[in-house]
Structure 1
Amino acid sequence: MVKPPAVASETTTPVDSWASSSARRRNMQAIRSRDTKPELQLRKLVHARGLRYRVNARPILEMRRTADIVFRPTKVAVFVDGCYWHGCPDHYVAPRTNASYWSAKVARNVTRDQDTNRRLVEDGWIVLRFWEHEPPETCAKKVAGVVHERRQR
Structure 2
Amino acid sequence: MDKLTPENRSENMRRIRGKDTAPELAVRKLCREIGFSGYRIHRKDLPGKPDLAWVGRRRAIFVNGCFWHGHECTEGLRKPRSNQSYWIPKIQRNKQRDSVNIATLRASGWSVLTVWECEITKREKLAKKLKRFLSPKTPNNAFNADAPKRRAG
Aligned residues: 131
1:141 aligned to 105, 113, 128, which one?
Answer: 128
Q: Counterpart of 1:80 in structure 2: which amino acid?
A: V
Structure 2 gaps of 5+ residues are 141-153
Deviation of residue 62 (structure 1)? 6.0
Q: Counterpart of 2:105 in structure 1: which amino acid?
A: L
Is 1:54 paired with 2:40? yes
2:96 aligned to 111, 116, 137, which one?
Answer: 111
Residues 42 and 140 of structure 1 are in contact (CA less than 8 Å); yes or no, is this contact kept in structure 2?
A: no
TM-score by length of 2: 0.77
Q: Counterpart of 1:144 in structure 2: which amino acid?
A: K
Deviation of residue 69 (structure 1)? 0.7
Deviation of residue 72 (structure 1)? 0.6
Q: In terms of Rg, which structure is larger? A: 1
Residues 41 and 136 of structure 1 are in contact (CA less than 8 Å); yes or no, is this contact kept in structure 2?
A: no
1:77-116 correspondence runs (5 A):
77-90=60-73, 91-92=75-76, 93-116=78-101
SS where residue 56 of structure 1 aligns? coil
Q: Counterpart of 2:135 in structure 1: which amino acid?
A: H
User: Partners of 1:133 and 1:62 in 2: how far apart?
Assistant: 25
Q: Counterpart of 1:138 in structure 2: which amino acid?
A: K
Superposition CA RMSD, Å: 2.0
**C-alpha distance 107-33 of structure 1, shift in aligned 2 (>3 A):** same
TM-score by length of 1: 0.77
User: Partners of 1:117 and 1:152 in 2: how far apart?
Assistant: 17
Q: Counterpart of 1:70 in structure 2: which amino acid?
A: A
Deviation of residue 152 (structure 1)? 8.0
Residues 45 and 137 of structure 1 are in contact (CA less than 8 Å); yes or no, is this contact kept in structure 2?
A: no
Structure 1 gaps of 5+ residues are 1-19
Deviation of residue 136 (structure 1)? 3.6
